Amino acid sequence: MLSGFMVNAWVVAGIVAVVAGPVGFFVVLRGSAFVADALPTGAFAGAAGASLIGVNPLIGLGVFSVLGALGIGWLGRRGRHDVATALALVMMLGLGALFLSFSSQYAPEIYSLLFGEVLGISSNEIAPVAVLGAVTLAALLVVYRPLLLTSVMPALGESRGVRAARVETLFLVVLALATSMALPVVGALLIFSLMIGPPAAARSFTDRPPVAIGLSVLVALGTVWAAIAASYQTNWPVGFFVGTLSAVWYAVGRIAASWRRSRSQAGIAAPGEPAEHSRLAASVRV
């Protein structure tokens, strides 16, 4: 279980979890689960296209996920955000179908891009993941404060001159970076599940953003490592364990949230999201 190629799996999955924790915190906070789903699912088309013209697939992934993020941002400013996301997603998938029809060479990779094959990672794949992961975290750190402000209190953010649309686009680019980092090694399903399950649970336990981010990193690490161990034992796909564990974490978070609510039932606000949000808002020092 700790032999050569398994060590690679542990390391890469660890990096992905450390990046997915903070990025996922904002995904959950902003309610952008659809975008976090669409970018990884659609970006594979870039890899297929790149292999078609003989370029490194990682470049294709990066180009497509960033273009997809910008497209969603552009369409979303002019219409409904979920419609923009859906249209960008199907367009990327349509292009992917087109590229695959030109050459079926890349088709075998599709399974691993969707569901992930963590156990087959070679050691020279670790460096790009680590570099891209560091870039993603650095980019997130740069936009951290305006992002938090516009997520929790859009009105206050605007009055302080924070341009919500620009912050949204920057956030989408961060998501795109995280996507192109994780997709080739762990697959779309895994990165997406890690970006929503653990952070959703973490948010239910604490209102303080740094604590929630730290907690969601820990939960994500636990999830992905447990999934790899279980996958090694049973030979079942890693994606299955990560998807299921994420759902379990979400359920735990929901139960914890309702327990916390019933404990502070004397509170002023009605139960539900607005109350949660105002508590979070109160914890943002501005």
Partner 1 sequence: MSAVFQAVFAPGFFTSDPVRVALLAGGMAALVSGIVGTFAVMRGQSYAGHALADISVTGGSASYLAGISPLWGFAGVGVAAAAAMDLIGVQRRRGRDLATGIVRGAALGLAALFLYWGTTSTSTTGATVTILFGSIFTVSGPTAGAAALFGAVALGIVAVLYRPLLLSSASPELAFARGIPVRATGALCLVAVALAVSLSALTIGAILSTALLVGPAAAALRLTSRPGLAVLWAAVIGLAATWLGVLLAYDSYYWPPVHQGWPVSFFVVALVLVFYLLAQLAAARRAGRRPGQARPLAAGRDGAGA
- Closer to partner 1 at the Cβ: 129 or 227? 227
Which residue, chain included where needed, has tokens 């686009």? 169
Rounded distance, CA 193 to CA 187, Å? 10
Rounded distance, CA 181 to CA 55, Å? 17
Decide if 23 contacts 194 (C-beta within 8 A): no
Q: Rule CB under 8 A: choose which of 15, 20, 26, 32 binds partner 1.
A: 32
Residue 259: Cβ-neighbour burial (10 angstroms; 0-12, 13-18, 19+):
exposed
Residue 239 contacts partner 1 per CB under 8 A: yes
- Closer to partner 1 at the Cβ: 134 or 256? 256
**Which window, 90-98, 127-135, 151-159, 175-183, contacts partner 1 (CB under 8 A)?**
90-98
Q: How is residue 251 written in tokens?
A: 């359920």
**Which window, 59-67, 152-160, 189-197, 217-225, contacts partner 1 (CB under 8 A)?**
189-197
Backbone angles phi, psi at 116, to 5 degrees: 85, 140
Residue 254 contacts partner 1 per CB under 8 A: yes
Q: Rule CB under 8 A: choose which of 82, 122, 158, 160 binds partner 1.
A: 82
Decide if 220 contacts 198 (C-beta within 8 A): yes
Contacts with partner 1, residue ranges (CB under 8 A): 28, 31-34, 36-37, 77-80, 82-83, 85-87, 89-91, 93-98, 100-103, 107-108, 110-111, 114-115, 189, 192-193, 196-197, 200, 236-237, 239-244, 246-247, 250, 254, 272-273, 277
